[in-house]
Amino acid sequence: MSATSGKSESLDALWAHHNAELRDPHQIVSQWQTAGDVDPQLLKYSVKGKFWETLEATGQTLIVTREYEHLVMALSMQRGSPRLSYLRLPHPNGLAIDAQRGVLIIASTRNPNMLFEFAPCNGSVPRDGTPVLKNMEGTLLPVRSSYLPGCLYIHDIAHIGGTLFANAVAMNAIVELPSTGGFKQAWWPRCIDSKKGPLFGRNYLQLNSIAAGETLESSFFSASAAEPSARRPGHLNFPVDKRGVIFYGKTREVVATGLTRPHSVRRIGQSVWVANSGYGEVGRICGGGFEPIVRLPGWTRGMCWQKNVAFAGSSRVIPRYSHYAPGIDCEKSVSGVHAFDLKTGVVLGSLLWPKGNQIFALELSGALRTQGFPFAVNAKPNQKRIQQLFFKGCCGTAKK
């Protein structure tokens, strides 16, 4: 074999390798070459009580972010049967439904931060010689993504007055996220004001969730500390027990104390609810303090509701952060989603991931009618059908 032919064969092999790369739509959606390589153990689950019956009664799909496993799950009942589907995204955190635009927004908190937007498929692009897609209406497809500086350290996201806002945890602030891109600081607690200006340079408070009101002034925000100190939330000696607080948007001051690493503060009717994570509790704010309503087996985080039923997440306690959870039996902590009665605190049912780790956010799909993601759990993957869905599937303006 001549040197010329050997070189040609080497180049052919190299070019063939490049040609075969990035052909999986899952890779393109998440911009992640190994996105399709999901450990099957992470998808195995068990159910207790009437979880599926409770979810079916809502008529909605439950979206769940599992941040440390880089998974977003969609749980729904389709024609009387459970459907679990998933998508792999880098460290997914907050969720928000934009009802006006008909999209699901997922915050991805790596460096850089990202916002991924998905909308339900409502038709397919006509193509000569190929059949029209069937039974794919409502499947979530990507419609847009945007990048933000990693130093924001985005956690929760929420719409307030029709505008998207996020916790910029590393800045101790709430930032506005315009549809045109970028960000701007929109609210922060009074405690970070200084003679040199607001202390945006480090994470002092772990200001991590938003109870959205009609305006920023009528909203509430949870944090692990009431004011900055030399010990910061990432330090292992950061004091947590009963040090967490709720800030009120209008006054920018603390309105509730006595919490331990609170997350997922929410407005439910006239009440403010929050996950008291370090004690595995979910409850409401009463008289400047916390009233637990339900206790769950793990680090509580993520909450959504419909009428008198709420869904909340529990996570395993990471061993090196066990001192952040003084009220939890860490050995018995589990990863899962629990449905409970808002009035009585009775747990109606649970879905557990035995090999799961951290739950961050939960959101019911609301007016966004969807069956979830294309990649289904416990279903033999139909790669040709998935390829066709991403090749021809359309959202919003598709011609049927």
3-state secondary structure 318-352: CHHHHHHCCCCCHHHCCCEEEEEECCCCCEEEEEE
Q: What is the number of residues in the chain?
A: 400
Q: What is the pTM for the complete model shown?
A: 0.94
Tokens for 370? 């969807």
Distance separating alpha carbons of residues 66 and 214, to the nearest angstrom = 28
3-state SS class at 392: helix
C-alpha to C-alpha distance for 126 and 196, rounded to whole angstroms: 60
pLDDT by position in tens, the chain (length 400): 566 666 677 888 889 889 888 888 899 898 888 888 899 999 999 999 999 999 999 999 999 999 999 999 999 998 899 999 999 999 999 999 999 999 999 999 999 999 999 999 998 888 877 776 777 889 999 999 999 999 999 999 999 999 999 999 999 999 999 999 999 999 999 999 999 999 999 999 999 999 999 999 999 999 999 999 999 998 888 999 999 999 999 999 999 999 999 999 999 999 999 999 999 999 999 999 999 999 999 999 999 999 999 999 999 999 988 999 999 999 999 999 999 999 999 999 999 999 999 999 999 999 899 999 999 998 777 888 889 899 989 897 544 4
pLDDT at 398: 45
Q: Strand, coil or helix: what is 44?
A: coil
Rg (CA), the chain: 22
Q: Residue 101 contacts by C-beta under 8 Å, 6 or more apart in sequence? A: 119
Block residue for tokens 């979530």: 140
| Residue indicated by tokens 């799961």 | 356
Local structure of 26: helix, strand or coil: helix
Architecture of domain 44-109+149-370: 6 Propeller (2.120)
Q: List all residues 6 or more positions away from 376 whose beta carbon is below 8 Å from its beta carbon.
A: 83, 84, 85
Q: How far is CA 381 from CA 69, 113, 369, 377, 384, in A?
A: 21, 30, 23, 9, 9
Bridge partners (DSSP) of residue 154 are 168
User: In Å, how far are 247, 356, 369 from 121, measured between CA atoms?
Assistant: 39, 29, 10
Structural tokens at position 209: 């969730």
Sign of the alpha-carbon torsion through 169, 170, 171, 177: negative
pLDDT of residue 399: 44
Strands 163-168 and 375-376: unpaired
